Structure formats: C-alpha cells, structure tokens
Amino acid sequence: MNDSKKLAVWMDHSHAIIMELTSGPLLQHRIESKFNDEIKEASVRKGESLMHNKEQHELSAFYKQICNAIIGFNNVLLFGPTDAKVELLNILNADSLFDKIKINIQTTDVMTENQMHAFVREYFV
C-alpha cells in the first residue's frame, strides 16, 4: 500500500484551493491573498512604488500560508492558470524544508470545483 501523503494546490495570485487526497472525498480548504483589487487601487493612488511593495508583502504572506499547508506531505501538485504556481515552486525549491517533497506543476485553465477534483484524482492515480 502506498502511504504517500498527497496534496494538490490550485492557485492563482488571488487565492489557492488546497486539496488533500484521501481514500474518501478530497479534504479541501481555501487560502485568500490579501492583495485584492480594493487594496491595489488604494495603493496605486499613493504611488506605484508603494503598490509594488504592498503587493510583494501580501504575496509573500500568501505564499507562506501555502508553504505551511504543504509541510508534512510527500507528493504535491501545483496547478492553475497563472505563473503563481511557478513563483511558489521557486520559493519551495529555495527552502531545504521541502527538499524531500516531490513537487510538480501543471498549467490548467480556470476550473470548477468538480473539474479540480477530477483532475487531482486522475493525476494521482
């Protein structure tokens, strides 16, 4: 029997859906980025440099939350339509805590929840 703990993360820059593969239904929770359109608009009014710094700070906190969710898993799939998954992979590769975790990325379109679940189950078969 394969005792590998498997996790999939569908993500873009605004949110991530964390899905743990189990023998039953997928266990799922959502992580939201705090850098939303409202904060972006307020930051732009104060200056582009401030907006960029705010965005970097909020994305860093967002990625840290996802990293914390990944710890303890053996096999992780990052997927989604944007480059957010590649940015997160670079962070994970730079941290020795994640050296023993098999991490793959797949580019996908925007998906419904059912499509995500089917994609994850098919990927880990």
Confidence at residue 1, expressed as pLDDT on a 0 to 100 scale: 38
Instruction: Please state, for a pLDDT cut of 90, what percent of the chain lies above it.
Output: 70
Chain segment 85-108, per-residue pLDDT in tens: 999 999 999 999 999 999 999 999
Note the CATH architecture for domain 6-123.
Answer: 2-Layer Sandwich (3.30)
Confidence at residue 23, expressed as pLDDT on a 0 to 100 scale: 86
Phi/psi of residue 53, nearest 5 degrees: -65, -40
pLDDT at 2 over 60: no
Domain chopping of the chain, boundaries: 6-123
Q: Which two tokens stand for residue 21?
A: 């593969």
Chain segment 21-73, per-residue pLDDT in tens: 988 889 999 999 886 555 555 555 566 665 556 567 788 999 999 999 999 99
Confidence at residue 65, expressed as pLDDT on a 0 to 100 scale: 97
Contact criterion met (CB below 8 Å) for 11 and 85: yes
* Average pLDDT taken over every residue of the chain: 87
Q: Which two tokens stand for residue 118?
A: 């089917």
Q: Which residues contact 69 (CB under 8 A, 6 or more apart)?
A: 7, 9, 18, 29, 31
Confidence at residue 46, expressed as pLDDT on a 0 to 100 scale: 62
Confidence at residue 52, expressed as pLDDT on a 0 to 100 scale: 59
Question: What are the angstrom distances between the C-alpha of 39 and each of 8, 54, 55, 59, 90?
Answer: 28, 9, 9, 13, 26
